[in-house]
Amino acid sequence: MVSNLQPKRLSIGIVGGGIGGVAFAVALSRDPGLDVHLFEAAERFSEIGAGVSFGPNAVRAIQLLGLENSYRRIADASPAPFEDVWFEWRRGRDDAYLTASLAPGCGQSSVHRADFLDAIVANLPEGIAHFGKRCIEVQQNGEGATARFDDGTSFTADILIGYDGIKSAVREHVLPPARYGDLGPFWSGTYAYRGMIPTTQLGAALEEQGADRRLALVPQMYLGPDRHILTFPVKQSELINVVAFVTDRTTPNPRLPEGEEWVKAVAQQEMLEVFEGWGAASQAILACIPEPTRWALHELPELPFYHRDRVLIVGDAAHAMVPHQGAGAGQALEDAYVLASLLTDQACTRQNAQQALAAFEAVRHARACRVQRTSHEAGDLYEYSAPGIGADEARLAADLETRFDWLWNHDLRNDVAAARVRLGWESVASFATA
């Protein structure tokens, strides 16, 4: 029988099926000229964690990826008249209002991680995802890149994209430790206690403590030395996502105790003792979390590069960061849009795909590193440890009002256009007038 199928112009392997990897696969799947395969270590798509917050830049990436309808069905927003509030900032010890950070037209746009993953998975065509495929090694030559999995199988494509998270196996191929040293995750010094509280329960608890019930529904940050607490609604405002942070700043390079799990269940009493003496709202919030989990927050150093010939790392595999700007998932989605825009361009073929990966890195590396760096610095600011600001609340408030503008106002279409100029697919003149 003679096949009438046209040969694909490019084959792409994606390692990792989290939010970024799936969004990227969905975007690629719309191009019939691409042969796309995604490999996920788990037996099904799943997300750990609870709420995830998206700034205006991430929401625009979702729109540009063609996933807005899926997102809007499940996304939460601050209630009127607080719809532009990203967070209100308060002093932890007495709940006193300091200021608010506003994201006009977006506010605190948040979802439950698992809900968002399910929503974008629904857009992924059959036959692209493969499960039970934990990547343990990557190899490449002049013909292609091969991912080897722990079940003994392997897959070879023209290019391989590592969306495999902070513990990425693909990263070790791009930046071999024998040559570049240990560039793997390190503990940030911060623990995060997490819990989810039914909104009605938290509202009642706040009232009982003499705090304003509206603090349950409008996103809040309670700040103090070496500690801070955040709350925002998820699940159509049925639940409030709570994260309570504490940081060890007694040593410049804190170490996690040997053998300690990154995530573990702890007693409520441990969490309550960390925030002893804090205000009524904080006490009400923490009292509603009988079984908190404690997360040792890890991040990556700023990597020198993300790309090696036919292999590229993106998302948390390339620039995992602490969550203090709500920017990690957003950076994975920005990566997905920019990279998919280049690979779905009809000018991109197996002959020049490596150059497309290099152009992607050239336009994304500095921004991703800056988001990593400023996310860590934001944690210092919230916990009264920022150089030159410390516990000066007037300066703290002034910084918070404009701190995120550069992050939120970035136009990803300029990244794509700049990469196209690098590749010779677009003239500088047309980029300048875009």
What Å distances lie between residue 221 and 88, 127, 243, 420, CA to CA?
Answer: 6, 43, 10, 41
Largest separation between any pair of C-alpha atoms in the chain: 78
Given 171, 194, 227, 364, the catalytic residue:
194
73 part of the active site = no
By the 8 A CB rule, do 55 and 188 touch? no
Dihedral, 144, 182, 252, 331 alpha carbons, nearest 10: 10
CB 389, CB 395: distance < 8 Å: yes
Distance CA 233, CA 220 (A): 10
Structure tokens at 142: 């002049």
Task: Tell me the angle at which helices 328-343 and 19-29 cross, rounded to the nearest 10 degrees.
Answer: 20
Could you please report the per-residue DSSP string of 222-240? EEETTEEEEEEEETTTTEE
Residues in the chain: 434
What SS3 class is residue 59?
A: helix
How far from chain centre, in Å, is Cα 341?
Answer: 20
- 234: which residues sit within 8 A by CB, 6+ positions away? 50, 51, 76, 110, 111, 112, 115, 196, 240, 241
Burial class (CB in 10 A: 0-12, 13-18, 19+), 72: middle
Distance CA 99, CA 400 (A): 8
Rounded-to-integer distance, Cα 282 and Cα 302, Å:
34
Q: What is the Cα–Cα distance from 355 to 34, expressed in whole angstroms?
A: 17
Catalytic residues: 194
